[in-house]
Structure formats: structure tokens, C-alpha cells
A and B are shown apart, each in its own frame.
Chain A
Amino acid sequence: DQQVKQNSPSLSVQEGRISILNCDYTNSMFDYFLWYKKYPAEGPTFLISISSIKDKNEDGRFTVFLNKSAKHLSLHIVPSQPGDSAVYFCAASGSGAGSYQLTFGKGTKLSVIP
């Protein structure tokens, strides 16, 4: 069973507008969440993370929101730029022995149209 789900395989957004990527999880033991961006032929690049004690974390154009009761997180990119076009992965980990085992969603391909 998929413990981390990204239900939108793809998303198209106009340059300058907001991109919102969504992620749902089922395992209540997850307490650390991350977003990665991946270009073809490259490894995933870390973007931003959030721990379960927070509900929002910002870094420049990127903001991650966490709704623990709904087991849902989202990544907002404002404003979107053509260079943001990539596959975005949501990942989660638990505490203790599971801290370094990331569980990934299947990814959302973001296309930012100039």
C-alpha cells in the first residue's frame, strides 16, 4: 500500500502564477516531511522540509503547509518560473529507527508555461 500519495501526476501553470502541489500520507508515525525536485538524468534536489511540530515553513518562493489532522501537505511555489519545470517528490520519515528511511510519493510533473 502506498503510504505517501501524490494524486496528480502532472500540473501545468502559467509563469508568474502560483503552483500548488499536494501530498497525502496514511502513516500517523510520520513526523518529518520533505519536498524534492528532480530533473531528468539528475538526482533529487532537496527543496524544503517541515517537522510535525509546525504547520508552515517558508524558504524564498517555496512554502510547505502541513495539516496533521488531514494527513495532508502541500508545496506552494510563488511566483512560478520556467526553471521550476521538473518532477516534484513528496517524502516522509518517522522517528527513531525509521528516521532515515524516506518513503516517497510517485511524483508530480510540473510544467511552467512562459
Chain B
Amino acid sequence: KAGVTQTPRYLIKTRGQQVTLSCSPISGHRSVSWYQQTPGQGLQFLFEYFSETQRNKGNFPGRFSGRQFSNSRSEMNVSTLELGDSALYLCASSPGDGYQPQHFGDGTRLSIL
């Protein structure tokens, strides 16, 4: 069974640009969550989508947005990039109902110059 796939693996951008990250969940999983990992703050929840609807949102500015498509694939967009947005962005999927663990992809390493 294929795992969670995130593309691209690495990305370099400059301040002020915008970026779109992609996530393909495990087949059959309808929930996709996004997390940001930085050395200082650790792993922090960004948002979660289920059946194309955002169900939950973390404490991040509106520059961070996402969406989910009918095939459960998800994208995350960050606009007006800042140096502090440099981080590992992780996507996780789960069936979306009941107490089921989230399974993570290997992440996209975003570096802002």
C-alpha cells in the first residue's frame, strides 16, 4: 500500500514569493492534515481537510491556506513568504472517522532566502 506522497521534497524561494505544496494521501484516506516543523517550535498543526472541507485550523496567519480536491489530494499555499517560514512541511492522512492514527509523508523542506 503506497504511503503519503509529498512533492516537491525540497524548495528554495525568496521573501515575498508564494509557494504551493502538494500531498497525495494513502488510498482510501479522506482526511489530510498539514503540520509545520521548525527547530524552535517543533511540530505545529496548520489545518485539516475532510471531504474537501476544512474541519480544523491551527494558529497560523491567513498567508497559510489549503484546499482538498475530490480525490482527497491536498495542496497547501503560503503567500508573501517570510524568512521565518523556512521549515519542514509535513502532510498526514487518516481515514477521517474515529480514533485512527495519522500517517505522515516525508515532507517538503522549504528554504526562504
Contacts and interface: CB of A to CB of B under 8 A. Distances in A.
Contacts of A105: 42
* SS class, residues of chain A in contact with chain B: mixed
B45 A103 contact: yes
In which size bucket is the chain A interface?
20 to 34
B42 A42 contact: no
B13 interface: no
A98 B50 CA distance: 13
A81 B84 CA distance: 37
Given A51-B99, A100-B31, A43 B56 contact: no
B60 to A, nearest CB: 12
Interface in B23-42: 31, 33, 35, 42
A101 B58 contact: yes
Interface of A: 32, 34, 36, 41-46, 49, 51, 89, 91, 97-107
